[in-house]
Chain A
């Protein structure tokens, strides 16, 4: 269970992992201190382990930099919930083992206590006492996420299967 941090529509990877910290990309814990800084400068220092990033449409548009979902994860976030995701960002989340959940985030307010049940495919809003059902991931992504991400998957199988 964790707290919802609300963000708007079209949060780009330039906002999640700003280019002016390009030189920190090989030092992810340092880069994570600036995660989502232009959108909410207090986020990186105040996010608690198990919290959720909750956004509107087209979260993660822009660059392919995988550092963006990496530092959301390193900052302590449990999962990203959004109305929709940009394609590359979505794939990156699953590859690094960060659940990216597509659901109606209008039903979640800032600070709501959230619980994610991947098995049942529901987001429980403990504050509002409601449940949001989400569609399961495509099978191939589900398998990658289930095995802990693409590195773990390839380490285990030395191949790609679908």
Chain B
């Protein structure tokens, strides 16, 4: 009998038996959450199901992070529906200002080895801690909240082995963009990605979370990292070291595919409109004038992302034809960036810093694009119409590219200003 993958181990632990890729099982869910784009429908689904209590309210969270604070009265009413249901059922409410669900989950709730379901496709971000986080729709999560269980097919795993030393100006965002560009936006549909190798060992939990986050952009169900000393340190910093556990795939586990990435020759990459797998090297981009630069999101809104951008912008002024919007991922990130002067650097350079949340990424507020406008964003998606007008254009890049672009007013190679 061969060994097991991380996914097989975690899912097996949650259904009380040994499982193999391809099996469909009922699993116990450790943590369920929704956000304000999906949560109101979850509440209605629970009412329709006739189960208006959470199986485990202290492990259920309603995040108001997408339209946060509400820019429209319809959404204010949606938020009230969520608040009211949370109040009555004892579900944890994470209200405006706390920031993005996935980042709060990493900081406060997710533990290595957990199964986490969220009514948000980027719930796979939790894989950065070695938790099997996966996105589902409002009804699936309603069922998970009500019953404490969900059904799941045990995924096959693609082992992504990343080795080499990241060159200047190249970050974990570029590794995951490279992977998505190589295997395409449905290259890993229904599969789990598991990241390993020298480069991965050196990455912080924050940098790993960028890759876990974008695993879904290759279609993956989860993007997993083995919990290691970096994970332990992160949890310790969050005051949750006791949540740490060691967990890794067996040496003789069966991987459906092995993908090798050597990062030594990688350069900053850009996903060009309108699909995330339209990946190009920054040297191939040519002259692209930019109306808006957006730094933040569940993909790249963490303190180290803000540090990367601020180190390039410090002492400079943004291009007068470009607006620059910075949205910290969480309240904690915001406070730390405030204390260490990062926020001041952005504001002095001419950027706007918003409260913590999803910000402009979901096209509802805080930086909506108009007809023909171009944005360079650190977010995970560039689909047509995502940030507003369907005739706008979204380019995705790492935080250093965003900062260099903010100064130049056109998509720029950060290596020239670092």
Contact = CB atoms under 8 A, between A and B. Distances in A.
Contacts of A139: 24
Contacts of B368: 20
Interface in A118-141: 138-140
Given A23-B72, A26-B78, A91 B364 contact: no
A151 B139 contact: yes
A86 interface: yes
Contacts of B48: 151, 155
Interface in A51-86: 57-58, 61-67, 84, 86
Q: What is the predominant secondary structure among interface residues of chain B facing chain A?
A: mixed
Interface of B: 24-26, 37-38, 40-41, 45, 48-51, 66-67, 72, 74-75, 77-78, 81, 118-121, 123, 135-140, 142-143, 146-147, 149-151, 153, 185-186, 189-190, 219, 221, 275, 362-364, 368, 381, 383-390
Interface residues of A, number: 45
Interface of A: 10, 12, 14-15, 18-20, 22-27, 37-38, 57-58, 61-67, 84, 86-88, 91-92, 95-96, 138-140, 149-151, 154-155, 158-162
Given A66-B38, A154-B146, A19 B49 contact: no
Contacts, number: 153
19 contacts: A10-B185, A14-B381, A19-B364, A22-B66, A22-B363, A23-B74, A24-B74, A25-B40, A26-B40, A26-B41, A58-B219, A63-B37, A63-B120, A64-B119, A64-B135, A66-B139, A87-B189, A158-B51, A162-B24
Given A22-B67, A86-B189, A154-B147, A92 B78 contact: no
Contacts of B153: 138
Given A91-B136, A138-B24, A151-B48, A86 B75 contact: no
Contact of A87 (B77, B120, B219): B219
Nearest to A39: B384
Given A23-B364, A92-B139, A64 B75 contact: no
A124 to B, nearest CB: 27
Nearest to B71: A23
